[in-house]
Amino acid sequence: MKGKNILLCVTGGIAVFKAVHLTSKLTQAGANVKVIMSQSAQKFVTPLTFQALSRHDVFIDTFDEKNPAVIAHIDLADWADLVIVAPATANVIGKMANGIADDMITTSLLATTAPVWIAPAMNVHMYDHPAVKRNIERLASDGYQFIEPSEGFLACGYVGKGRLEEPEKIVTLVETFFNRQERKTRLSGLHVLITAGPTREKVDPIRFFTNRSSGKMGYAIAEEAKKMGAYVTLITGPTSLIPPKGVQVISIESAEEMYEAALNYYDKANIVIKSAAVADYRPKIVHNEKMKKQEGPLTIEFERTTDILHELGKRKNHQILVGFAAETNNVTEYAKSKLERKNLDMIVANDVTEKGAGFQGDTNKVTIISREGKEKVYPLMSKNETARAILNEIELLLQGDEQ
């Protein structure tokens, strides 16, 4: 964090005292911290307190230009490596969601191109109000990151969700963010191709065969690869997920469509991660009209779909090719066989029968196996943490190629 520029926007609530502590902790960690305060925030703590701890002027008025050579709110917006709004009241969240710029904080937020983190702090019922929830969802879809409030005793006397996250936790998040920024250069300029989600194989205009894949693992890998500086193409089957911001998205439905899309981008890719759960079989006959009920059992004949990963393995030249093995038994044995048969550089294996490691959940528990036979077993983690572990292993492969 040493030398990083952090713009702290402090809005009015009793949690302002935690923003004081946060300023101190960030400064002690080596960051350059500049503070903007709303008028309401000054009712709780004076600007002099933040000035003493940050060792910088505190900004409180859009029209108070301390340096005539620059426009203050534009200069601050350009200066920041990271902007944190803490505490963020329901009022400022509403303004941000609707593009309102009527004070020093909101004008600076509109002008910055740095990442903006929002740390809400308010009464539990305010936090749960439909308007506040709607504003948070809008900001999240615009790419803002939220530091979720914790649960506990609130100043108003209620017990519930609404407490500003502890400064120590926020500092840890900031450190992790900048550490990741430092590592961005490893994937910068590389094209990462990712397949995600299920496929659907039509029976007729109404019915189809599919599987339980939610696409969450592939989307998490796409999000983390983008954060690490890669150009990301995400080929996705039907899901309800919102694609990560800044990622090229190719939507498909069937296994054949995914195969064609993968081939189309394959030669341009440096890293290919096939996390999609693709159908192995499809109905041999697809009916143009809805099939009607009939007496007795129904028999549908299936045919094999193209084995996408096998075809990519045969065509591999410069790419690092990574596959997934979702199994219910003999996981490592099947994964190693798949890695060899399909000419992979690495495979991510998991037992989908284990609690927290199956389809549709927010966590995963994987074993990563390299072509040289090295195995790394990871504990149960969030899918974003798992994605980072996978990309870290790919980085090691890249380093090996360079030596």
Q: Hey, which residues are catalytic here?
A: 156
Q: What is the enclosing helix (H) or strand (E) of 178?
A: helix 167-182
> Residue 87: is the preceding peptide bond cis (ω within 30°)?
yes
DSSP symbol at 377 = E
Which amino acid is residue 272, in one-letter code? V
Q: Are 22 and 1 in contact (CB under 8 A)?
A: no
Lookup: tokens for 206: 């109404």
Closest CA to 110 of 140, 141, 76: 76
Q: What is the secondary structure of 187-219 as a DSSP string?
A: TTT-EEEEEESB--EESSSS-EE--S--SHHHH
CA distance 331 to 352: 10
Q: Judge contact between 9 and 40, C-beta under 8 A.
A: no
Read off the DSSP letter of residue 241: P
**Is residue 400 within 8 Å of 372, Cβ to Cβ?**
no
Those residues whose C-beta lies under 8 Å from the C-beta of residue 354, and which sit 6 or more positions away, are 365
Query: Cα–Cα distance between 116 and 297 in angstroms, integer?
Result: 58
